[in-house]
Amino acid sequence: MRESKITRKTNETDIEIKLSLEGSGNTDINTGIAFFDHMLNSFAKHGSLDLKVSARGDLTVDDHHTVEDVGIALGSALQKALGEKKGIERFADARVPMDDALATVAIDISGRSYLAFNASFANQEIGGFNPQNTRHFFESLVNNAGINAHMEVTGENDHHKIEALFKAFGVALKRAVKISGSGVPSTKGVL
């Protein structure tokens, strides 16, 4: 089983993540940020991941440190669960509509992190979550997982746009981590 457990404790946050890539979308998520919990649930459900996230952060300041550190820990958990990446598809993409919103995500589990992110948000807060931290979450995740990701969303409603991005990332990740061969999918022999 491709599973991992990561703990991250700083002066700002205390986070524990358990992840199984061979899951069925079972979650137990509590970050103290209602909307962020909803997004992580959507990500795991559509990514067919079993995900447990327990996070305590300095939410009296704002949501930034908690969102960032969950992204760091989740990226580390993904990298650990993937191991040597033998047999994975590696490349995948997904287009996910949600009412007025349409998100497109393409990823490469290359070991080299990069985020191209094209989205804009009008609201300052949704359920305790600052939409501006959407980019920062994914940036923290891909940097720690070694994933190259291109993400774009159009639409009017910020809730729909952000949720479409989380769902599309989950669907693309599910496709990219699928085992379809035996060797490392790289001409270099390593990822």
The conformation of residue 188, written as its DSSP 8-state character, comes to T
Instruction: Tell me: pLDDT of 76 over 90.
Output: yes
CB atoms within 10 A of CB 25: 17
Provide the domain limits for residue 41: 3-177
pTM: 0.97
What span, in angstroms and rounded, lies between the C-alpha atoms of 9 and 87?
33
Q: What is the mean pLDDT of the chain?
A: 97
Single-letter amino acid, residue 17: I
* CA pair distance 140, 135, nearest whole angstrom: 9
How sure is the predictor about 73, in pLDDT bands with cuts at 50, 70 and 90?
very high
Q: What was the pLDDT predicted at 184?
A: 82
Residue 51 lies in a domain: yes
Looking at the DSSP bridge assignments, the partners of residue 6 are: 17
Domain count within the chain: 1
The confidence score (pLDDT) of residue 188 equals: 82
How much is the pLDDT for 137? 98
CATH number of the domain within which 99 lies: 3.30.230.40
Cα(144)–Cα(75) distance, integer angstroms: 5
Residue 184 lies in a domain: no
pLDDT at 35: 98
What pLDDT does 5 receive?
A: 98
Average pLDDT over residues 110-131: 96
Cα 140 from Cα 169, distance rounded (Å): 14
